[in-house]
A = this chain, B = another copy of it.
Amino acid sequence: MRTHQLVLHWIENELSAGRLAVGGRLPAERSLAEQLKVSRTSVREAIRVLEAMGVVRAGVGSGPEAGTVVISDPATALGSALRLHVATRHLPVADIVETRVLLESWAAAKAVPDAPVLDEAAALVEAMAAENLPVNDFLALDVRFHLALADAAGNAVVSAMMGSLRESIQGYAADLTANLPDWEATSCRLRTEHRDILAAIRAGEGGTAARLVASHIEGFYQEAGLAPDR
């Protein structure tokens, strides 16, 4: 077993045992190295891994924002991993779209109609109606809208998975908009569909919302044409 993995296991044990919890702080790198009888380098490698997984956040200086503290941010963690794997071309974009449809239509069907995140989703819909909104800003708001819908179902794992798809989604969406014949018309249609989806969820018509979401996502993907590779 490599040294940094020893550190990783130690930290995982502390988490499982409850001696470390979200909001808590890891011992300082130098203390931890001394305590585990390893070099500071190995401790740092382990912390880098945990940071990449969204389990800790490292901050310099002193005070409440400093030091290495335990957080819980599964989405961005899985996100960068997925983005890299898409870069290796071993995760086809079509599969990502299919997974989106699966997760989001389920979330739409299960969403509780009075979830607070739906207010946020509504605000995003309005923001997307702004005049002269750059395409990339529109897409960023669009992704946030869909993430809000996923959150409304109240399943942390599904939310994390949707969040992990975020960067990949925005990447392929930006590529696809270049193929659209008429962005104005498309964006207008997308806005209308967003409103319909939101209305269906608020009305408690989960089945309708799920169908609308599925056709919304697939419609955009097919209108822009399937990307040749990537």
- Interfacial residues, chain A to chain B (CB-CB below 8 A): 4, 12, 15-16, 21-22, 41, 44-45, 48-50, 52-55, 70, 72, 74, 77-78, 80-85, 87-92, 95-96, 98-99, 102-103, 106, 155-158, 160-161, 164-165
Chain B: CB-nearest residue to A50: B84
Chain B residues contacting A156 (CB-CB under 8 Å) are: 90-92, 95
Across the interface, A99 reaches (CB within 8 A) one of B44, B96, B157, namely B157
How many copies of the shown chain assemble into the complex?
A: 2
**Distance between Cα atoms of A138 and B139 in the complex (Å):** 47
Shortest Cβ distance from residue A95 to the other chain B in the assembled complex, whole angstroms: 4
On whether the beta carbons of A88 and B41 are closer than 8 Å, the reply is: no
> In the complex where A49-B48, A52-B53, A81-B54 touch, is A87 in contact with B161 (Cβ < 8 A)?
no
Chain B: CB-nearest residue to A103: B102
